[in-house]
Amino acid sequence: MATWTDIPDSSLEPGKPARSIDALALRDNPIAIAEGDPNAPKIVTAAMAPNSINADRLANGTITGDKFNASSIQSWLGARPLGSVGSTVLARCSPASYGPGATVSGSQLRAANALGESSGSPFSGTWRCMGYAPNTVPEAASTTLWLRIA
């Protein structure tokens, strides 16, 4: 990990060569900022680009329940009409078994209840399996949660 080094203004003279120690600090200080050295200036939220932090960059456990705004999540989910991208549905899927992360065409899904009773017409778009849907009898076993992704 790089260490932050304060460089006095008096050490940097226009038109003169930099001292080695100052040149090393100029090289290492941006790294120290990025690595979060306790003496380095902190990057403020306003300096970050929108959506610059995403799930790929978050370590497990870095976001806790108190950091989520439950009401905004509920509003976001509630604003999704059934069948739109981002909506979820409890559905039966046929004719094969699907595990978490599998994707299927909505034409393979029928809305269902926890007993496996289903009705209604198929859905459109592409849906991701959020549980496990084996192709077994009784039908209730093939009912799980699906998320529309496209």
Q: Would 25 be classed as within a structural domain?
A: yes
Q: Would 92 be classed as within a structural domain?
A: yes
| pLDDT greater than 70 at residue 40 | yes
Q: Would 105 be classed as within a structural domain?
A: yes
Task: Note whether 43 and 91 are same-domain residues.
Answer: no
Q: Would 70 be classed as within a structural domain?
A: no
11 vs 95, more confident: 11
Q: Would 67 be classed as within a structural domain?
A: no
Q: What is the mean pLDDT of residues 104-110?
A: 89
pLDDT score recorded for residue 60: 62
Number of domains composing the chain: 2
Q: What is the dihedral of CA 82, 84, 87, 91, to 10 degrees?
A: 60
Structural domain range at position 139: 81-148
Burial bucket for residue 63 (CB in 10 Å: 0-12, 13-18, 19+):
exposed
Each residue's pLDDT tens digit, 62-91 = 666 555 555 555 565 666 677 788 888 888
29 vs 69, more confident: 29
Give percent of the chain with pLDDT exceeding 70: 75
Task: Note whether 49 and 86 are same-domain residues.
Answer: no
